Structure 1
């Protein structure tokens, strides 16, 4: 599987208005996206993610570095490069609100040089697939947020580009429509071999849809890995121990001293202690502490960690030197 997008050493510096202060929004970012992948492009607010997205879409020029889309430099040959990618920006901004659902599809097809006659069967297919057929004569400004979002994605698909970039595709949707959009996106990649890049703050969506994630923080790529592998790495280190008695002061002090990430729920009939281990063998240290007062252990459970927890730990730097350190310690 070859790469459809290659981002190589891109940087972007902004100068604050009315001052000489410069802000490094993107700092030497590099990554690749393979054909047919569904990836999450993530980052907290101010991390440089939005700037990176705009540079991929050709809305901003990098100060240095290169972006290739299907082998075409999107700065030197912008229009040719952008024929391979379509984007759905947050807020359904790629729709005309005073046109109907069908008119939007036909209009944007015409923008790409395709006649209404030639696109008719494709429009019909998309109306059915996105369950918009009964709304085809409705003005977009009268549609629900969910209907507008589905139409925006349908417009992007109509372009038949190899890459679709989606910014917050499920933002503000009700639960039912949100799950419907998820299934549509999965089908896009699986059935049509499209490459889908999703930027979202909804980590459940990323965990459900994406195979791989690229996390940007403070202008740099801090993680580029398969979501399944990230979940496994963190899951094996997280344990919850149900105790038959409360810990004494000495035990609490030793746990606080030896385990940087722990939580002790003492206000329960059966107290619970949750710990994260840098190495799985560190659990023996914990048992030694419990043995000091012969504290009974009622149950040991490996925590089922969600991707949102993984994301927060990575961007907060709670993995010390990032995922590479976690990997080296788990080998």
Structure 2
């Protein structure tokens, strides 16, 4: 399968100037400037195959947005090579932008004061989409995203969830083979998130649309992506299957006990002193969570010790969440590859 994105040794540096103090300092600044160089993206290489859905994750300042801006042609790399849809995004910008769709959760591509459908028509003309292709494709998009009742409304009168669904539709008017999504579900309620996720799965299956998803909401990644690329301080620290990340880093399980009577931390620690257990109180003093090793003998031992003494209303064995796994990776500062 061919690569739709190919990145080699990509680097982006920003030069920032600092002013000297006082009149004498200002005068010296006229002739020589003090500046520092900050490396936002530091020699990264990766490729994405056509039809993949990839999660692009990292903490704030890790280099995600900077690299997305280079991939979409907004920023020019300091060093390295980018080929997206067979083109150089910066040098062939006009031709290139017709082959991608972009949704930035914090920015709008719709015109604020006109009806949504008028924005769609303007974008149709910008992308030179034939009438028949537009009607067929957008009918499906509008129906699936359930935005029919919103088409006559000005964008400024839409809620955040309504606007994001319309933004997504706008990015797909020309049915691009590649879609960049930067925080597309930020601030949205659960039902809208589910609708957007289902829609993204559908266009990936129906049209083979390649999706690169940047988000802080790891439930989006878990629902949509089999592969993740993780950045830290401008470098890629993990590139591989989400499943493998979980298997290699999900050390331990959590046992959630719901007791029929109140329990204390001291009491629970005494009951499980023969095992390495970390106890945390849940939503009430009837619910306690024990973090333990994945070893079945340990899990059985902890459950046996607690249930022998305490009355249990409910019991669940939980996997460590992806969010917690990634937090652990950042804390430890390196990734252990399988």
Moved more, 197-206 or 303-312: 303-312
1:220 to 218, 232, 235: 235
CA contact (8 A) 1:9 1:64 kept: yes
When residues 276 and 2 of structure 1 are mapped into structure 2, their CA distance, relative to the original with a 3 A threshold, is: farther
Deviation at 1:227, TM superposition (A): 1.2
Would the alpha carbon gap of residues 115 and 309 (structure 1) be closer, same or farther in structure 2, given more than 3 Å must change?
same
User: Paired residue for 1:274?
Assistant: 291
Show CA shifts across 1:178-235 (max 9, x none). Answer: 1111111111111221001111111111111111111111100011111122222233
Q: State how far apart, in whole Å, the 2-side matches of 1:240 and 1:308 are.
A: 14
Residues 13, 24 of structure 1: 8 Å contact kept: yes
Aligned length, in residue pairs: 304
The answer to whether the Cα contact below 8 Å between 1:94 and 1:152 also exists between their aligned partners in 2 is yes
Is 1:323 aligned to 2:336, yes or no?
A: yes
RMSD: 3.3
Q: Distance in 1 between matches of 2:206 and 2:88?
A: 28
Cα shift at 1:160: 1.5
Question: In structure 1, what is the Cα distance between the partners aligned to 2:51 and 2:6?
Answer: 14
Query: Alpha-carbon deviation of 1:307?
Result: 1.3
TM-score, structure 2 normalization = 0.78
Are residue 238 (structure 1) and residue 237 (structure 2) matched? no
Match of 1:164 among 161, 176, 179: 179
Query: Secondary structure of 1:68's partner?
Result: strand
CA contact (8 A) 2:54 2:229 kept: yes
Query: Which residue in 2 is equivalent to 1:308?
Result: 323
TM-score normalised to structure 1 length: 0.80
From the superposition, tell whether residues 266 and 161 of structure 1 become closer, same or farther in structure 2 (CA, over 3 Å).
closer
Deviation at 1:3, TM superposition (A): 1.2
- CA change 1:126–1:265 in 2 (3 A) is closer
Task: Give the secondary-structure state (helix, strand or coil) at the position aligned to 2:184.
Answer: coil
Aligned partners of 2:169 and 2:286: how far apart in 1? 54
**Which residue of structure 2 aligns with residue 258 of structure 1?**
none
**SS of equivalent to 1:17:** strand
Aligned to 1:158, the other structure's residue is in SS state coil
Q: Do the aligned partners of 1:25 and 1:47 also contact (CA within 8 Å) in 2? A: yes
Contact 2:56–2:64 (Cα < 8 Å) also in 1:
yes
Kept in 1, the 8 Å contact 2:268–2:306? The answer is: no
